[in-house]
Amino acid sequence: MKPDLDEIDDKILALLMDNARLPVTSIAKLVGIARTTVIARISALEKRGVIAGYGLKLNQKLVQPAVRAYVGLSVEARYAAGLIKYLQQLPETETLCAVSGAIDYMLTLRCGNTDTLDKLLDQIGALDGVRQTSTSVILSKRIDRGAL
């Protein structure tokens, strides 16, 4: 069951997703409500399970390889399980999502350099059942609310 969220809840959640350590007083000023109201709203969101927890976001420029790419994959259905198994064992696989539309899966790869990315794309494209791939290298993140 999807919880009912109003505009104020949405604003509080967006602020917390951008910076979970944002002081309550700052949230109150930005949203335009009292500090005690913010505290009560956050507590209610936690109790209702909307906020499942708080985490740490590492500076990816310092700790992660430099090249990331989205790869759209069109796959014959009978080969999907084997493809998923193969991609799961690759350390460069960040996410794999089944999607609707012209492609079947959206893969996110994280590689140390473009040579590694190029080799991986060749390997993936040569797998049984892979009909087509389409790759977009990620240049920069403009908005990152990765908690969703």
86-143: pLDDT as tens digits: 999 999 999 999 999 999 999 999 998 999 999 999 999 999 999 999 999 999 888 8
Dihedrals phi, psi of 77, to nearest 5 degrees: -55, -40
27-69: pLDDT as tens digits: 999 999 999 999 999 999 999 999 998 877 766 666 666 799 9
Nearest partner of 75 among 67, 63, 84, 66, judged by Cα:
84
Length of the chain: 148
CA distances from 37 to 18, 26, 62 (A): 20, 13, 37
- Whole-angstrom distance, CA of residue 69 vs CA of residue 57: 19
- Whole-angstrom distance, CA of residue 106 vs CA of residue 100: 10
Q: What's this model's pTM, rounded to 2 decimal places? A: 0.62
Q: What is the pLDDT of residue 2?
A: 63
